[in-house]
């Protein structure tokens, strides 16, 4: 799975531990803060100090805290639960994606209650054109 850095997501950085991305500037640097804790709802608190790295260096230094080893079977189970239809528009003749209602980078989980089947078009709308 290819990885893109998204602002507001939490990543595991090789040097800094858990970090939250906060900005990407015109020079293609990624700005981030260290994660210092989470509350019971999964809301992240961060250090006040900002760090930055070139995008490609940052991409090579982090892993997303996200998809479990059994993601493919879980994804298929969600599509089956949703009758292989988009839960937004009802389409069943388009490519289907499994969407995290609360994003992983915002503290969401891979629990079935946080996953929904969306067609490629509706998933793109949810992510403002990014699928």
Convert the pLDDT of each residue in 77-102 to its tens digit.
999 999 999 999 999 988 999 998 88
> What is the mean pLDDT of the segment spanning 44-64?
91
54 membership: H or E segment, kind and range? strand 51-54
For the cut 90, the answer to whether the pLDDT of residue 34 exceeds it is yes
**DSSP 3-state of 19:** strand
For tokens 């803060």, the residue is 33
Range with the largest mean pLDDT of 32-41, 46-55, 102-111, 122-131: 46-55
- Integer-rounded Cα radius of gyration of the chain: 16
State how far the alpha carbon of 98 is from the alpha carbons of 6, 85, 116, in Å.
18, 11, 6
Residue of 18 and 117 predicted with greater confidence? 117
* pLDDT confidence tier of residue 44, bands split at 50, 70 and 90: confident
User: Quick one: how far is CA 65 from the chain centroid?
Assistant: 8
* Global confidence as pTM: 0.57
pLDDT score recorded for residue 66 = 66
User: How is residue 127 written in tokens?
Assistant: 């992510």
The domain spans of the chain are 10-64, 71-126
The model's pLDDT over 99-110, given as tens digits with 9 standing for 90+, comes to 988 877 666 778
**78: its two tokens:** 């969600």
pLDDT band with cut points at 50, 70 and 90 for residue 76: very high
Q: How far apart are CA 12 and CA 120, in angstroms?
A: 28
């Amino acid at each position: 799975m290819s990885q893109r850095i998204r602002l507001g997501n939490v990543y595991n950085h090789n040097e800094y531990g858990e970090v939250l991305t906060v900005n990407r500037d015109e020079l293609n640097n990624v700005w981030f803060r260290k994660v210092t804790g989470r509350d019971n709802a999964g809301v992240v608190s961060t250090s006040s100090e900002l760090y930055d790295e070139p995008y490609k260096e940052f991409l090579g230094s982090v892993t997303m805290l996200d998809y479990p080893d059994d993601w493919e079977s879980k994804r298929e189970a969600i599509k089956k639960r949703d009758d292989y239809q988009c839960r937004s528009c009802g389409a069943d003749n388009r490519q289907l994606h499994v969407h995290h209602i609360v994003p992983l980078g915002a503290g969401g989980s891979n629990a079935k209650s946080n996953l929904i089947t969306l067609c490629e078009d509706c998933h793109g709308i949810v992510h403002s054109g990014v699928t």
